[in-house]
């Protein structure tokens, strides 16, 4: 079956071709145009379709150009395309993950982590400078409760060995006790001490924070994620006061009858859309982002990052329930006179239902990683075709993570979806396991037959339809990268890689290397090398580490 490489719709080039232009007219015009065009050294065939003119590229030229380009550009293949030649190199700040210390690391945090990591990876690959920031929930009344709770239920050994779990346990226990008025008072006192910079209270808080970050770093490493900066609400205590003063000086802060501080965001200035920034008792609100509440800290953090990093774009990656919050944050910054607020962006994502581990609800990120590893390991040991891998546990983790990421990235980020372990970990179909399996197979093909050398490849050996399909697909990689760079959606890359894997799997069957004439074997090896190289590049962008054995 012959598939044209490029297609021209005749309707798009005919002046005043309105909808009343009949199909047979268009077909006739397509035929007339096709007859007038001539082939050359690039275009080897021109034909007419229903209202279209189809062009076929010289097959040898296609093979030679694609293979040389993939070989030459390596990990930068697609990125060096002229599609990106006019895109200015910029500095981007990406805030993502941002869990609350001593609270659950829920599935929303996991989504934020992998989506933010993808956006940062893509920007870096395209030559931009990126600062990855984790904005921790590391301040507030919860630390008053924790401080008191630790005196009653804390254990220094447990805090050192598993800080996230131990602080969570302490927090759960003290919350049960917090019904008691005396406990509430003690917690308030402890938090007041923190706000007044009491040395002893601060050193306890700092220990909680530092040990938590140490453990986060270790767990993020398993995910293949790193941060340039662990920031947090605690950084912006003093700066939040400065923001308050700025809002007052600019006459933007208004008091309602109840004494609550609001910023009027309505067009008619009739308080029909307001953003509450201060409680009536004068304290700045924490980020209960569900309400129209902007904490001064978020404003202070945005201003501080601009001063510190002079970024061109700042991206916040959180779930879509916080869309209002960010809309208001950007509006207030603009009212304060910061025009760069227009270069802030909220990338939102939908909710994931039904992700549970065998132990029940997800409480810690590590639970998810352990679950995916153990399930994958079980699948691998029960599969007859599984070869002995050098490090099965490590492989299971990488393959399992690929499964998680692909299941998450297949649709639009803003859509909610139902999570399923069974579906995610299937080895056939459009899954991360299939991508890893394809990569490992192509890698072992290269190991078995030695590395291909491009210098002596006879491209006329790559004329079969299955080889051409792979080459055509490789040629389009830059367009897919461009689409994802425009809307920051990973799904374009995901569907591209799944199709590439299906095409490569078919070619692997129909175009054997073993037993073919040397020139044919060498050409095919080159084709499979190119497919594996592009597959690996795309997987790495998504945050997946390609495995070489499975």
φ, ψ dihedrals at 539, nearest 5°: -60, -40
Q: Is the pLDDT of residue 431 over 80?
A: yes
Q: 75 or 280, which is more confident?
A: 75
The predicted structure's pLDDT at residue 376 = 93
pLDDT value at position 258? 63
Residue 261 has pLDDT above 80, yes or no: no
Q: With 80 as the cut, is the pLDDT of residue 272 above it?
A: no
Greater confidence, 177 or 39?
39
63-85+362-542: what CATH class?
mainly alpha
Please tell me the predicted confidence (pLDDT) of residue 457. Answer: 87
60-63 long-range contacts, CB within 8 A, separation 24+: 60/459, 60/460, 62/5, 62/468, 62/471, 62/472, 62/475, 63/459, 63/462, 63/467, 63/471, 63/523, 63/527
Q: Please answer whether residues 350 and 320 qualify as being in contact, where contact means their C-beta atoms are separated by less than 8 angstroms.
A: yes
Burial class (CB in 10 A: 0-12, 13-18, 19+), 294: buried
Categorize the per-residue pLDDT at 451 as very low, low, confident or very high, splitting at 50, 70 and 90. Answer: confident
- 3-17, 272-286, 349-363, 493-507: least confidently modelled range: 272-286
Delimit the domains of the chain by residue range: 6-57, 63-85+362-542, 138-227
**Which pLDDT score is estimated for 464?**
95
pLDDT value of residue 16: 60
Two structure tokens written together for 311: 């970024």
Q: What are the C-alpha distances in Å from 131 to residues 124, 128, 134, 344, 541?
A: 10, 10, 10, 14, 16
Rounded to whole angstroms, the Cα distance separating 351 from 362 reads 14
What is the rounded distance in angstroms from the CA atom of residue 349 to the CA atom of residue 356? Answer: 19
The dihedral sign for the CA sequence 99, 102, 103, 106 = positive
Catalytic residue among 109, 443, 473, 492: 109
The pLDDT of residue 140: 85
- pLDDT band per the 50, 70, 90 thresholds, residue 355: confident
pLDDT digit string, tens, across residues 497-533: 999 999 999 999 999 999 999 999 999 999 999 999 9
The token pair at 136 is 């921790």
User: What pLDDT does residue 21 have?
Assistant: 63
CA 119 from chain center: how many Å? 5
* Cα four-point dihedral sign 365, 370, 375, 376: positive
d(Cα 116, Cα 345) in Å, to the nearest integer? 12
**Residue 5 per-residue DSSP state:** S
- Segment 364-389, tens digit of pLDDT: 888 888 999 999 999 888 875 556 67
On the question of pLDDT at 308 being above 80, the answer is yes
Q: Give me the percent of the chain exceeding a pLDDT of 70.
A: 91
Give residue 289's pLDDT.
Answer: 31
> Which residue of the set 106, 328, 398, 443 is catalytic?
106
Orientation of helix 181-195 relative to helix 163-177, angle to 10°: 130
C-alpha span between 115 and 108 (Å, rounded): 11
Residues 488 and 117: their CA atoms lie apart, in Å, by 11
Q: Which of 27, 91, 103, 491 is catalytic?
A: 103
Between residues 292 and 236, the one the model is more confident about: 236
Q: Is 103 designated active site? A: yes
> Taking the alpha carbons of 15, 19, 21, 25 in that order, is the dihedral positive or negative?
positive
CB-based contact 83:476 (threshold 8 Å): no
User: What's the mean pLDDT when you consider all of the chain?
Assistant: 89
- The radius of gyration computed from the CA coordinates of the chain, to the nearest angstrom, equals 29
Is 50 exceeded by the pLDDT of residue 206?
yes
Q: How confident is the model at residue 210 (pLDDT cuts 50, 70, 90)?
A: very high
State yes or no: is 502 an active-site residue: no
Find out whether 432 and 399 touch, Cβ atoms under 8 Å: yes
| Predicted confidence (pLDDT) per residue in 395-419, tens digit | 999 999 999 999 999 999 999 999 8
Residues in the chain: 550
Can you give 175-212 as a three-state secondary structure string?
HHHCCCHHHHHHHHHHHHHHHCCCHHHHHHHHHHHHHH
Q: Quick one: average pLDDT of 232-249? A: 87
Q: Is 514 one of the catalytic residues?
A: no
Which stretches of 372-460 are assigned E, i.e. beta strand? 417-418
- Determine the pLDDT at residue 57: 92
Query: Which among 513, 506, 502, 515 has a CA at the least distance from the CA of 465?
Result: 506
Q: Name the residue among 432, 447, 427 with its Cα closest to residue 549.
A: 447
- Tokens matching residue 325: 């919050």
> Is it the case that residue 257 has pLDDT exceeding 80?
no
């Amino acid at each position: 079956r012959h598939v044209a490489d490029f297609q021209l719709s005749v309707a798009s080039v005919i002046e005043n071709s309105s909808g009343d232009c009949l199909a047979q007219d268009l077909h006739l015009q397509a035929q007339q145009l096709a007859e007038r065009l001539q082939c050359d050294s690039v275009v080897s065939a021109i034909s007419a379709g229903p209202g279209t003119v189809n062009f076929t590229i010289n097959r040898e030229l296609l093979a030679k150009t694609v293979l040389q380009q993939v070989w030459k550009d390596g990990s930068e293949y697609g990125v060096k395309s002229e599609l990106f030649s006019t895109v200015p190199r910029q500095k981007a700040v990406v805030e993502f993950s941002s869990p609350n210390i001593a609270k659950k690391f829920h599935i929303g945090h996991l989504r934020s982590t992998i989506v933010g990591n993808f956006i940062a990876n893509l920007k870096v690959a395209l030559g931009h400078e990126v600062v990855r920031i984790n904005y921790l929930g590391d301040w507030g009344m919860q630390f008053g409760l924790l401080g008191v709770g630790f005196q009653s239920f804390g254990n220094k050994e447990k805090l050192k060995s598993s800080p996230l779990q131990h602080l969570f346990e302490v927090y759960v226990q003290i919350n049960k006790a917090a019904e008691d008025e005396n406990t509430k008072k003690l917690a308030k006192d402890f938090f007041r001490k923190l706000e007044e910079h009491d040395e002893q209270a601060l050193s306890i808080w700092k220990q909680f924070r530092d040990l938590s970050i140490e453990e986060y770093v270790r767990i993020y490493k398993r995910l293949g994620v790193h941060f340039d900066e662990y920031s947090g609400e605690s950084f912006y205590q003093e700066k939040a006061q400065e923001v308050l003063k700025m809002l007052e000086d600019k006459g933007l802060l208004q008091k309602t009858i109840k004494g609550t501080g609001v910023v009027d965001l309505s067009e008619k200035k009739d308080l029909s859309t307001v953003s509450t920034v201060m409680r009536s008792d004068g304290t700045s609100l924490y980020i209960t982002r569900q309400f129209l509440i902007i904490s001064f800290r978020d404003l202070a953090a945005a201003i501080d990052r601009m001063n510190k990093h002079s970024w061109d774009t700042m991206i916040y990656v959180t779930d879509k329930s916080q869309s209002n919050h960010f809309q208001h944050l950007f509006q207030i910054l603009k009212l304060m006179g910061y025009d760069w607020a227009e270069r802030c962006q909220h990338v939102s994502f939908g909710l994931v239902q039904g992700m549970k581990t065998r132990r029940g609800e997800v409480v810690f990120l590590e639970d998810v990683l352990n679950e995916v590893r153990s399930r994958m390991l079980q699948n691998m040991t029960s599969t007859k075709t599984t070869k002995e891998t050098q490090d099965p546990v490590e492989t299971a983790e990488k393959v399992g993570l690929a499964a998680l990421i692909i299941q998450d990235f297949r649709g639009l980020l803003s859509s909610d979806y139902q999570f399923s372990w069974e579906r995610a970990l299937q080895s056939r179909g459009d899954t991360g396991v299939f991508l890893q399996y394809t990569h490992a197979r192509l890698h072992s093909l290269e190991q078995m037959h030695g590395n291909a050398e491009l210098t002596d490849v006879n491209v006329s050996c790559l004329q079969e339809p299955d080889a051409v399909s792979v080459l055509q697909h490789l040629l389009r990689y830059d367009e897919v990268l461009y689409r994802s760079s425009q809307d920051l959606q990973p799904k374009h890359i995901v569907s591209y890689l799944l199709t590439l894997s299906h095409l490569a799997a078919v070619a692997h069957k129909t175009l054997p290397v073993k037993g073919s004439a040397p020139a044919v074997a060498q050409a095919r090896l080159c084709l499979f090398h190119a497919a594996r190289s592009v597959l690996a590049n795309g997987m790495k962008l998504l945050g997946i580490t390609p495995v070489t054995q499975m």
